[in-house]
Structures are given as structure tokens and as C-alpha cells.
Structure 1
Amino acid sequence: MRPSGMHELSFHNLYRHGFVRVAAATPRVALANPEENAARIIEMAKEADAERVALVLFPELCISGYAIDDLLQQDALLGAVRTAIARIVDASASLRPLLLVGAPLMLNDRLYNAALAIQGGRILGIVPKSYLPNYREFYEGRHFTPASGASADCVRLLGDDIPFGSDLIFEAPKLPGFAVHAEICEDVWVPVPPSTAAAFAGATILANLSASNVTIGKSDYRHALCRVHSGRCFAAYLYSAAGIGESTTDLAWDGHAMIYENGTLLAEAERFARTPQLTIADVDVGLLQQERLRHGTFGDCATAHSRDMRRISFDFAPPDDAVLPLNRTVPRFPYVPADTARLDELCFEAYNIQVSGLAQRLEAAHIQRIVIGVSGGLDSTQALLVACQAFDELRLPRENILAYTLPAFATSASTRSNAWDLMRALGVTAHEIDMSPVCRQTLEDIGHPFARGEPVYDITFENVQAGARTATLFRLANFHDAIVLGTGDLSELALGWCTYGVGDHMSHYNVNASVPKTLIQHLIRWVAQTHRFDEAASEVALRVLDTEISPELVPGEADGDAPAQRTEDFVGPYELQDFNLYYTTRHGFAPSKVAFLSLHAWRDVAAGAWPPNFPDTKRNAYELADIRKWLGVFLKRFFQTSQFKRSAVPNGPKVGSGGSLSPRGDWRAPSDASAQVWIKELERSVPLR
């Protein structure tokens, strides 16, 4: 969702679309030298400001240094800390970001390990550390008082009364969703971190000022803490640990900084770096708010475990740059991970979900045969591979898979050959039924011009063929005591690219129902490359990947084999439409935000930028005009013209977290809704270039 008040910002500015640029800083620390540390903090704050950052997180006790032991109790040092704080506050008056800085503070005769929130020339609040480690190498209990020991919720510092406590949320009214909570190191290592209550109260960005010395394997545990906590809280989690300059008398430090968003790592500092680092990423607070909205149990848990929090407003004006692109990776294929290992795991799970779903349906229905139409294209190939695996696991003969290729007026020789070669290689019972006579008879019965020899290839001409094929498969299933296995995929259903009722829309069970087109091809390749079947079947399956996507319902050249129809000429590139589908249904983003993300993902397709596990995918690039055009097609087809088809889909297993469109699963919508809200938002908010 776009925050209100952001309309005046340029479409090409990330802040207009619910993003907030944040940074985790790891400065070089000068031990027990607050003056030098203040200078270094200010320098990094200025660097962040130039990068249009809204929030900068510094490490724990970075003004004094963490590993200084009893020097923390020296009046001279504590006085120098206050002087350094005043210097940082003065410098912040000319800077945009909110700064979270760590310092030891003597307040009301007690010493606190504190985080100071500084912005616009003032201290917004002070957050004391809640949990003080006093085990193994840690002796914080020797020096500090925990937050629970505070005697007041407001303290006097540098002549001002300042909110004090672990219950502070810092929020910027001019950038809705930008709400920050700070905690310190050990606070996230306990079972219930203070930031949990802050997330329940609306904080979207949780920040941890840490020292955290390094030991073997500790970085993995830090990752686990930040990843899981950000995911469970539907929040961003920033973590910045002390690095170079800290005392190595007994400990070592790696300067580990991370930025997580809802369980996903956005950016990470180089560990053990010898120079200061500013780790920057753009956090999608709009996404975080959507996730909290969609997961009702988050709100239920917040109600059960709520805690009063104080909200501190600060004046933050988003940068108004005409062009401010994202500093984060947006995957071109949200349904398909670019990492080879993750893709292999995803394909393993998706394929086996399909297989186990079909096997369970056959066992529950006491059915030992299926009927399937095999076109020689992507979807029917994947469905047939799944069927063979399911029959093998049920120890049913593959001859019980009754596979039919059903050529009509526009079937090409290549797809017909693919179908026959695949059926033979897999050892199923293969047949061919020419659908031309029954289609011609139907066209003649309804008085269609084609029956009189006129080359009229309208929607009726196409649907007569699709309907005849499915009707034949259902009658074959009746005749052989079988069920019809559907083959249509999630992308086709989203775009309404299927013939309703007795057409490719309908079956007894559909294993591809929630699998998008961009994933289907990777599943086929994975099945072939992992040798689920013999070499002949794998070779045919890989050949299918090179076949043009076409319904083959309109005749082409008399002597040519290329299809006259290219599906993507009508509904748009599937790689682009799957992108639109994911961000529209999974996250509920406005069209303008979908377009902004799409432009970031698809504008530049440079050498080396394409995932290495996408060898057979065309390396297309799309400019904003293309993105706007096909997003408009998507919005009209998805919201206005095809919901009635999704309201009556057959059973099929949900495969991925990207969702399904079954009304019994992830997506429920009225069939008679209008798409105007989405189309107008697109036209009003997305420029042509």
C-alpha cells in the first residue's frame, strides 16, 4: 500500500511506494575516547544522509567502546560521553536520518547501557538495556542497572526532559509505517525480546545495538535469531555488532551487521573488515503492514500479550528526489528461487506434493485408472510425469494411465510428435482421436461460417475444439471407470486463459492447479535432470521446453509447423504476468507499486545478471511502457473477466507459499466485481516512461 501523503513524490522514488531506506553502521571504535567516536559517528551519519537513508543504527556503547570494563565507572569518561552526545545532537540538526547510538549514561545515580534516539537536533528518547548478561565472558551486572530498575520514565539530559524506557516507539507521521523500536544486544537472545511488544504495538522496524563478541559458529546463531524474530514479528530487524577497535585482551569482534525483513536477509556487512562499513537496504514497510493484516493470529497474539507503549513522533520528510531507485534485489521470478540449491529443494517439494495429492485422491476414490489429454506442451507434460510417478508409488501399472492426444484443425506436427514420443517413452496406454469431425459437426449444427468453408476463427471456433476435447475425456473416463486428470496451471487460471465448464477449465482433479507457468518449466527440467524416468522420457521432456506456448486452436500456414497463435501475444509474457500475479495476490500491492517493483526487476537484463539455473528462459527486458501495458491486461483479466472460472475450479493441491486461486483456499472474490479501482490507480499513478 502507498502511504497517504506520498502522492507528491515521483513514481520513481522508492519512498512513494512504502519503502524506507535504513543502514546498519559499524564504525571503527576508539576505546575510551568519546570525542573521537563522536567524530566517526557523525561522519558515518553524514554518509548515510547523502545516501538518502532514514535510519542509521550504530553498535552498543559505541560512544565509549564496549570492552572497557571498570573504565565505565570513571567520572571523566562519563562526562566525556555527555559532551560527545551533545556534539552528535548538534550535528544531527542538519541531517535527515534518525540515529540510534549506544552510550553509557549516569541517570538518577544509576548507570545504564543505553540507546539514544537522535534526530533533527534533539534527543527523542533513551532506551535502557533490559537484560544484562552476567555469565561466561560477560560482566554487565557489575556496572549497569537493567531497564526494570529504572526509577522514572523521564530523565534530564543536556537540559531537556527526555522519555526513558524500553517502551518507546519512534514514528514519523510524514512517512506512515516508519515506526522504530530499539533494544540492545542480549535483549534479542532472551525468550521474549522487548521488541515483541513493540511489534504488537505497530513498530515495523526493530533495531538492535549490539556488541556481541565473536566465537566460532556464533554468526550462524545471530542469523537465526534475526531471521526468525523478524519473521515471527512481521518486521524488519536491524543488527549492528561492535567491530574493529574494540579491545582484544580476552575477546574478538567481527563487526557483524545484518538487515532482515520478514525472515529474508536483505543485506549483510563483511565480517572482520578493517574499515568502517555502512550496510544499506530498503525495507518494505508496506509489505510488513500487509502481512500483519493478512495474518489474523498476529493481531490475536497482540491482543493477548499487549503492553502499553509510548509513541514518540519526529519530523522526518522523505527525500523528494525525482529518481531514487531501490537498493535491494527484486527477483524477476518470485515463484522460482534463483539459488540452485533452493530451487532444487523447491522442485523436490512441489513435485512430491503433486504426486502425493494425486495418489491420495486415487486411493480415496478407489480408482485405478486416469484419463489425460496430452498436447505435447508444458502443462500436460508435467501432469503426465506426475501421474506416472504416482502410479509407480501406488504400484499400479502405467498402462492404467489412458493418455490421449486429440489433434484438431490447428495441431502442429511438432506438438503431436512430442505427445506421442512422451506417451511411448513413459509406457502409458496411448491413443489418438482426431477431433476434427466432431468439431466440424458441432460448427455445422450451430450454423458457424467455418462449416460453410469460410475462414472464420472466432472464439466460438476455438471453444468448440476445447469443449469437444474435454467432453471426450470425461466420456472416456466414464467408459473406463477412471477420473480425468486436469493439466491447466495457475497462470492460465489467473488470466482466465481456459475454456469454462466442459473445457480445459474442468477435470476431476488437477495437479497443476496452483503451479504457475514459470515454475512448470523448471519442474519438468528438474524431473528430467534428476532421472526420475529413463533417458528417452527425459529427452522428450526437455524437448517440450523449447515448444512455443500456444493453444493451437487457429490454423497457421498450410505448409508450416509454427503455430498461428502465440499465447503470450494475447495475455502477455508469462514471466511478467506471474510477477504481477504474485505481488497482487500474495501481498495485495497497488498496481503502481507492482509496476515500480517490476521496473526494478526487469528493466536491465545485463550479462551475468541472469540466474544461472534459468538456461532455457528468454532473457527479456521490459521498459515501463511494456510493464504498464501488460499490467493493465492482467488487472482487467484477473479482477473483472475471469473470477467466475476460479469460483468453480476442480480440486487440486496447494503447492507453494505464493498461494492458490481456489475459493476453498487462498483466494475468494465475487465474480461480478469491477476492475476499475485497480485500472484507474494504474492509469493515474504509473507514467508511460
Structure 2
Amino acid sequence: MVRYITVSTCNLNQWALDFEGNRDRIIQSIHEAKAHGSQLRVGPELEITGYGCLDHFLENDTYQHSWEIYSQILSDQSTHGLILDIGMPIIHKSVKYNCRLISYNGKILLIRPKLYLANDGNYREMRHFTPWKKPKYYEDFTLPSEIHKVSGQKSVRFGDCLISTNETKLGAETCEELFTPNSPHIAMALDGAEIFTNSSGSHHELRKLDTRMGLIMEATKKCGGVYLYANQRGCDGDRLYYDGCASIIMNGEMLAQGSQFSLKDVEVITATVDLDDVTAYRNVKSASYQTSTEPYHTIESGIHLSLGSDMDPLVVPTKPIDVRYHLPEEEIALGPACWLWDYLRRSKTAGFFLPLSGGIDSCATATIVHSMCRLVLEAVQSGDKVVIADVQALVHEPGFIPKTTQDIAGKIFYTSFMGTENSSKETRSRAKELSEVIGSYHVDLNMDNLVSAVVTLFEVSTGKRPIFKIFGGSQTENLALQNIQARLRMVLAYLFAQLLPWTRSKAGGLLVLGSANVDECLRGYLTKYDCSSADINPIGGISKTDLKKFIHWATSSFDMPILDDFLTATPTAELEPITKDYVQSDEIDMGMTYDELSRFGKLRKVDKCGPYSMFIKLYHEWSRPPLNLTAEEVATKVMKFWWYYAVNRHKMTTMTPSYHAEQYSPDDNRFDLRPFLINPSFQYGRKKVYELVEKIKVREEEIKKVTLSVD
């Protein structure tokens, strides 16, 4: 018997609690899978509710509505004719589980709860769900009345089981289970499962797709089999962007791969596989000795997946392809741009407002908006009806069809240079020229009168007038005068965001964009409630080093020569007066370079180092060429970082929600959970560091003496 089977998986742009919209996208994906001739369709994790519901998963309504929506999908005759793997949350015996529901022709075959939950970094699944701690165990689950009316079933198997068709066995694992040391697909393969499905809610981080794809490929490279990976794509209402890449892999080779970044709400990929190739691949003696001693409970479905002798003789199994990866610079251009588009279209605001300073951070933010406009234009030109409808709804023009990216930016992107006497002509000019290239509605203003009025109010109230340090003022005065400028820009930003559309006779307000990068947040090199305080921040999880590389890439890739001027300019806040002998510099102000900050951040968050272990690692790195730093110099840098990190930690409690792109983000909102009142001297850690510095000095002297005596 010929065992050719056509299978489909998908990327879906679901939105938290958008039950009916999520249902429609699920049904559309099923229709597309059927149109491709598929006998199996796999969807993303928790696709009925959206993955990022967070504490809405604690509400009973979420579970009730999920069943109501699922019953609508189950009863829809157009979804019959293929096996469906759909994700949703379920309460069983008063316990909440993250589940997969496997069905065929309106009847549920199995409810499979997630065994291992994601519970670190951005994920808090243990807060909302309980893991099914009984591998290969199952119970009976009593179905709710709305399902009983549709399917005629009173109960169904609930647990870790396999499903058998007339040709093969299917097993399901969910997202995090792929990343665990003892992944379920291994035991499933040893018990004869040849097809594995994985519904995922996996987010984008720079340079991390290769890790995920490596694990997916490895899942069948060792065990053999067909692996169908489905993923969420888009922003479902929080800081994460789920980056798709739905994939079909057989015996360790990629057969089909969906896009990572796209404005498409539904993307279905399909492949035809020959299951006899799996049998041949597994014909290895050592593998046959490891067959499962404790078999899974297998649910007999009686379903025919392959057509056997009735199959069209012209159908050919899908050939392997190379895995596709984006450059990190492309990831920055595409991921945050897609994230911004979802925020804009779903908030139904009139557009974005960005304080454009003439520096590289706001330049990068503006360039990402430009990238978003490029993606929108591409989707419009390809005839994407959803994107066209969203664009027309945003600009309130039913017949609007943009011809250029500037057509789009001119209607939804507003920028402003908020200058003072401390601003240079160069930054003002760069901001204006960039706005012209992108096509934003730009406002160039001076706010000296506003700053002066506030300082005068303070003088009248207290009898004392602060002055800048370079004119003889104290550090306290100098900092206060810088901060008032930054905070007034935030006030102006929200004023302009509310009223600029009104000045053009347009309805609605604007989302204010922040532009503080991850390294400045880590160091706390920003003013609390300044112009970094915004509605959303597309670069808040991206390092300065990566932003520079992105701008360099975009200069040629987007044909924007003006960007080169931002690269060559010295990073400066321009909050202090410029004189013949003094120009404010970010890196001098911070007392450390951006490259050093990136290293500190990764050691602190990714490698989980405190001051002492960080010093040891950096001493081994920085005491060698090309830096050749002494132990004391390394210790000074390390302790300076920890001091500023601690004294500024309170700023992270108010940071603008940012696109998550780096593993070392200091975002206090659910990702980096540390107290914001810390003794910044880290007294015990500091003592241990400098004890080690003295030991190193003694040891170095001993080595020097031995070397001299030998010479």
C-alpha cells in the first residue's frame, strides 16, 4: 500500500481574547489546508484564546468562551474531512490545563494536556496552568453540553496518548516540551508514532531562530518521522512578537517552512510525505533494540489518511529545502515593524508620534516605522484584502490605495524636533532631512520659553536659580536642568500626539513611540518620565551595537544615504550647553562604553552573574590583549556598573512596554524580576571582588619574580 499523506501546519496572527476573530482565522486555515489536499491540519498553541492572555487565564469566562467557539468550529461542516489539532485551555477536575484537542469529522478523538510548562523569562505558564504530571496516563473527561449537542459524545480520553489511523500513529507535543531534555517525541517514536505535531507560542529574539530550528530538525534526525511545527505570529497584545516559521520536517530535513515575519494573518504550508521513508530511516539495529517497554494508550480512530491505490499517480512527495534565516539587521527591520503594525491596527489610533532628536536611537525607531510602511505597501500591492481594509480604516478614507511608503507615512506617522538652546544645528538638520525621506508629518519647534518658564517658576518660589555645571553650578543643579528639558519633551509629546491629527482635520490620537535602547535602560542612562516614557518602544529590547549595525544595513538596503550621517555623529543627549571646549557625550556621561554595557548585561541576565562571578569572568577576558586591563581596572568597571544599575533600578518600574529582542533586557515588567531598592554598593560582593584583586596582584608579583630569576 502506498503511504503518501499530505499534511499542513500554519502560522496564525491571533489576538488575546479575540474569540471570534481567532475562530475565523482558524477556519480559514482549515479551508486552505483542505484546498491543498491535506489530511491533517495543525494550529498554534492556545489558538482559540490567543497565547498571551496572561491572568485572563485565571477567569472562568475564558474557558467557557473557548468551549463555545470550539463547538462552532466542530459543528462547521466545512472543517470536516481532515484531522484537526487545535489548541485551547481546559478545566479538568477543577484544575486548569493548556490543551490540544484532536478531532475528526466533528468528533473529538483526544484532549492532550501539556506535560511541561514554560516558566522562565517572559513565560509564566505555571501561574495559570498545571502540568500534566502523568506521562502515558489518561482519564475520562466529561464534555460540556454544547459539545455533546454537536458531537453526540458525553466523554473523551484526556491525557498523554497516541492516535492510530489505518496507516500510522500520531503523537502530539506542545512548545516547551520540544526544548526539554526528555522530549515526549522520543518515547512516542519508540512506540511507533511516525507523525508528531507541535503547537507553539514561541517569540522572536535576535539570533535565536537557529536554536529553535535546530531542535525541530533534531527531533526527527535522531528518531525519524514527520514533524509538524505550528506557531503564533504577530503581537497578540503584549511585548512579544511571535515569529511564525511553521515548518514540516521529515527525517531531519526541511520540507516546507513558513515565513518568520509577515503581515499575513493566516499562512498555511503543506507537504506530501511518504511514510515508507520513515520506516526505512528507522531501520537501524540499535533503534530496534530500544522499542518502548511501557506503551502509550493508543486511540483507534479507523481513519484513512492515505489514498493508497486511489492516489493520483502524478502526486510526488515534497523534496527537502534549505532552512531560511534572516540576518540580525533584517530581524530588527522586520520584527519590530510587524509588531508596530499590529499595535496600530488593533488600537485603531490615527498613527504614531515620535520625538525625533537627530540621534541614532530615534533615527532607528523612525527607520523601523519606515520598514513597517514598506511591508504595508508590499501587502497592499500584493492584494492583501485584510491589510488594505486596515489601512483604509486607519486613515478614514475608504478608497485609499497608497502608491509609495511616503503616502502611508504622511498619513499615519508624525515626528517633531523639540529643540532648545542646547541643540545643535546638525541634529536639527538631520531630523528634518530624515523626516522628509520617510515622509512623516514633521514639526520643528523650540521649547526654550517653556524650559525658562519652569526654571523661573522655581526661582520665584524658592529664591534660588539653578545653573549648569560648566557655568559654576553643582552636579545637583546640572542634573535637574537636564531632567526638566527631558520631562517637558514628554509632556509636549503627549500634547502633540493628541492634537496634531486634529490640526489636519483628522480623527483620533496618536501612539507615542519611545526610543530608549536596552543598554541605556540597563545603565539607567535616561530620565524617569522623560521622552523615553511613551506608549510603546520598538527598540527598548535592542542593544546600541545592534542598532548601529541595523542603521548601516538600512542605509543601502532601504536606499537612505541620510542614515550614514546618524552613524558618524557622536551620541549625545544635548541637554547641556555646547561651548567651544565642551560637547556632551553619552559614553563619557555613562562612564562606560555601549560594548561594555552589552557584555555586563549578558553576564548579569543570561549567565546569571552577581558582582563577584562577573568580575572573575571579565578579568579572564579583559586582562588579555587587546585590552590588557589590570585586575583593579576590571574591578572598578564591574563595581561601577553594579552601582549605576542598582541606583537606577527604580526607573525600570515605569519603563515603556518594549519589543522584546535581547535576552538581557532589564524590563521590570514580568521579564527581569528584581527589587528596585537595593544597596548599590553590594558590600559583601565588593569585599570579595577586592580580596580577589589583592590575591591576583600578589600572584602576578610572584610570577614576575620567577620570570626575572630565570632570565
More helix, by proportion: 2
Question: What is the TM-score of this pair, normalised by structure 2?
Answer: 0.44
Q: Greater CA radius of gyration, 1 or 2? A: 1
